[in-house]
């Protein structure tokens, strides 16, 4: 795709740069907020080489597909001379469409669902998504590098003594080692604080001094005794990383709140000298005495519920339940709240067991879509599936959810149940072969195979195939009747 040329063509057809207020992208689309929608030549945009579809309106959405949207956004910034806004959440992305009728089903269904959601609760989950979405490419990169290193070790165990290999393997762990700093930075930015203070907020819960200063040898050659760990009344000893990234997010948010509160009360002439120092001191004290103990309990509770209880104790049934419930969580917009849990599991263990189980939801959806495509005679519905299914196989499930299964209702249920069978099989595999999971975030569907713990790929691929097959069979025999298509009208 010639991004520079396409950018110039798009700018001309939306009424020129002067008609564009702001622009950004999601996983599949370039999104242009225009002042005058009537000045946009929608039909000409649809005919451009590389454009898969166009959604008209106050925000013109040019669908170019995964992998192209971000590059087009960068090229459009150069061609237009404008600065793009931050990339929006992938949850707002939809599949490629090539007419308004196809677009209406997915877009209108999603709008109805989101209209029923609690604004305040889902605003919190959107904040979490905005904090972690910019980190996803790093998770993918480091996860793949870690997988390559692990495969290398399996093939040649002696390579671990090679310093070049050690350097290569270390690259895969760079993100996890600095995750708390990046999350702190992104959280401060998300809530309007100073990003560098967010870095500090991310560093405070991870200070080695919290565990006591290691013994050192003084100038006189005498080894000094280590300091005692920091103790909090009613809680006990603190330790670095207590509470994980949840504690970091809360701390960085608190830093932003304190900073903005102080800025309203301290003269501008003293801003640089007083506000940052007070923000760090006050925020750090609250972090140590309040946030770290509470966030530790939250993280321990979530880990126990989702991993220890649901997967390890629940076994096959737990895997079935988790995979079955994930599509409703996506529909309700609460799935983003699990991202800090995945990130912390990777930081603590090198992988997250939970994510591959939940990824089975995509397999159930794919099987459902294939069954509906085979049974229906409605060309409009077949066109929706044709555009959305390839993205579903690659782990982008929203187009199938909002464009097919949810409007039809019953196929949504059979897709969930189909996912459950894949989750049950994978949970059984974790009991038989020992714990394994995904070493990175951001990939799903077939693409997740590349970041699954080496040697365990067949378990994941097998589970995904079972989810697809179960979703297909349940939908084909029980989940879809032709009269349901009337619900798409």
How confident is the model at residue 6, as a pLDDT?
92
**What's the 3-state SS for 132-179?**
HHHHHHHHHHHHHHHHHHHHHHHHCHHHHHCHHHHHHHHHHCHHHHHH
Ranked by mean pLDDT, which of 272-276, 370-374, 389-393 comes out on top?
A: 370-374
Quick check: 29 pLDDT over 90?
A: no
Task: Using alpha carbons, select from 314, 322, 324 the residue that is nearest to residue 338.
Answer: 322
- Cα separation of 324 and 322, whole Å? 5
The confidence band for 92, taking pLDDT boundaries of 50, 70 and 90, is: very low
Instruction: Give the pLDDT mean for 38-56.
Output: 85
Where are any strands of DSSP class E within 213-252? Answer: 231-232, 236-237
Quick check: 113 pLDDT over 60?
A: no
- Cα separation of 153 and 129, whole Å? 34
More confident residue, 255 or 51: 255
- Cα separation of 243 and 342, whole Å? 14
- Cα separation of 10 and 418, whole Å? 41
Quick check: 103 pLDDT over 50?
A: no
How confident is the model at residue 107, as a pLDDT?
52
- Could you read off the pLDDT of 394-415 as tens digits, one per residue? 777 777 887 788 888 899 999 9
- Could you read off the pLDDT of 414-451 as tens digits, one per residue? 999 999 999 999 999 999 998 899 988 877 888 888 88
Instruction: Give the pLDDT mean for 221-239.
Output: 65
Partnered with residue 217 across adjacent β-strands are 223
The β-bridge relationship of strands 59-63 and 29-34 is antiparallel
What is the number of other CB atoms lying within 10 angstroms of the CB of residue 162?
A: 13
More confident residue, 212 or 163: 163
Q: Where are the alpha helices (DSSP H) in 287-408?
A: 292-303, 315-332, 339-349, 354-375, 379-393, 398-400, 406-408
Contact 62, 10 (CB under 8 A): yes
Contact 55, 97 (CB under 8 A): yes
Active site residues: 26
The β-bridge relationship of strands 231-232 and 236-237 is antiparallel
Quick check: 296 pLDDT over 60?
A: yes
- Cα separation of 72 and 66, whole Å? 11
Residue 424 makes CB contacts below 8 A (sequence gap 6+) with: 316, 317, 319, 320, 323
How confident is the model at residue 429, as a pLDDT?
93
Query: Which of 3.40.50.2020, 3.40.50.300, 3.10.450.50, 3.30.1360.60 would CATH assign to domain 3-88?
Result: 3.30.1360.60
Encode 89-122: b = buried (16+ Cβ within 10 Å), e = exposed: bbbbbbbbbbeeebbbbbbebbeeebeeeeeeeb
- Cα separation of 476 and 410, whole Å? 11
Count CA within 13 A, CB hemisphere, residue 12: 8
Q: Which class for 154: exposed (0-12), middle (13-18), buried (19 or more C-beta within 10 A)?
A: exposed
The domain locations on the chain are 3-88, 130-212+229-302, 315-488
Instruction: Give the pLDDT mean for 11-35.
Output: 88
How confident is the model at residue 94, as a pLDDT?
38
**Rounded alpha-carbon distances, angstroms, from residue 301 to 132, 252, 464:** 21, 22, 29
Q: Which residue has the tokens 């309007």?
A: 192
How confident is the model at residue 464, as a pLDDT?
95
Cα angle 128, 133, 135; round to 5: 110
């Amino acid at each position: 795709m010639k991004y520079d040329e396409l950018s110039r063509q798009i700018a001309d057809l939306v009424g020129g740069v002067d008609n564009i207020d702001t622009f950004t992208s999601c996983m599949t689309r370039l999104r242009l907020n225009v002042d005058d929608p009537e000045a946009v030549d929608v039909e000409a945009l649809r005919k451009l080489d590389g454009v898969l579809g166009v959604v008209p309106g106050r925000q013109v959405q040019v669908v170019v597909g995964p992998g192209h949207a971000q590059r087009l956004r960068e090229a459009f910034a150069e061609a237009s001379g404008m600065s793009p806004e931050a990339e929006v959440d992938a949850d707002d992305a939809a599949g490629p469409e090539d007419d308004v009728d196809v677009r209406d089903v997915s877009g209108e269904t999603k709008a109805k669902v989101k209209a029923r959601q609690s604004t305040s609760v889902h605003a919190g989950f959107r904040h979490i998504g905005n904090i972690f979405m910019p980190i996803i490419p790093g998770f993918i990169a480091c996860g793949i590098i870690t997988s390559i290193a692990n495969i290398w070790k399996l093939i040649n165990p002696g390579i671990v003594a090679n310093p070049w290999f050690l350097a290569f393997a270390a690259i895969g762990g760079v993100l996890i080692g600095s995750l708390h700093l990046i999350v702190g930075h992104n959280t401060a930015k998300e809530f309007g604080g100073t990003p560098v203070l967010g870095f500090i907020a991310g560093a405070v819960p991870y200070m080695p001094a919290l565990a006591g200063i290691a013994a050192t040898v003084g100038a006189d050659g005498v080894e000094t005794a280590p300091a005692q760990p920091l103790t909090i009344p009613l809680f006990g000893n603190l330790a670095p990383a207590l509470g994980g990234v949840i504690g970091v997010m809360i701390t960085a948010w608190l830093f932003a709140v304190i900073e903005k509160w102080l800025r309203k009360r301290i003269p501008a002439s003293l801003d640089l000298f007083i506000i940052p120092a007070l923000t760090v001191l006050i925020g750090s004290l609250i972090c140590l005495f309040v946030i770290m103990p509470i966030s530790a309990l939250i993280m321990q509770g979530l880990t126990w519920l989702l991993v220890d209880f649901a997967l390890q104790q629940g076994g096959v049934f737990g895997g079935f339940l988790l995979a079955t419930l994930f599509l409703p969580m996506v529909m309700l917009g609460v799935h983003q709240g699990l991202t800090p849990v995945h990130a912390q599991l990777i930081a603590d263990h090198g992988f997250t067991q939970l994510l591959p189980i939940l990824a089975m939801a995509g397999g159930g959806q794919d099987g459902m879509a294939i069954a509906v495509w085979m049974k229906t005679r409605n060309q409009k519905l077949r066109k929706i599936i044709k555009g959305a299914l390839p993205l579903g196989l690659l782990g982008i499930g929203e187009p199938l959810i909002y464009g097919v299964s949810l409007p039809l209702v019953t196929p949504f249920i059979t897709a969930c149940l189909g996912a459950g069978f894949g989750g049950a099989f994978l949970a059984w595999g974790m009991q038989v072969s020992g714990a394994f999971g995904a070493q990175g975030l951001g990939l799903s569907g077939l693409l997740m195979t590349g970041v699954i713990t080496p040697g365990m790929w067949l378990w994941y691929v097998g589970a995904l195939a079972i989810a697809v097959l179960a979703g297909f069979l349940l939908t084909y025999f029980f989940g879809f009747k032709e009269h349901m298509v009337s619900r798409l009208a």
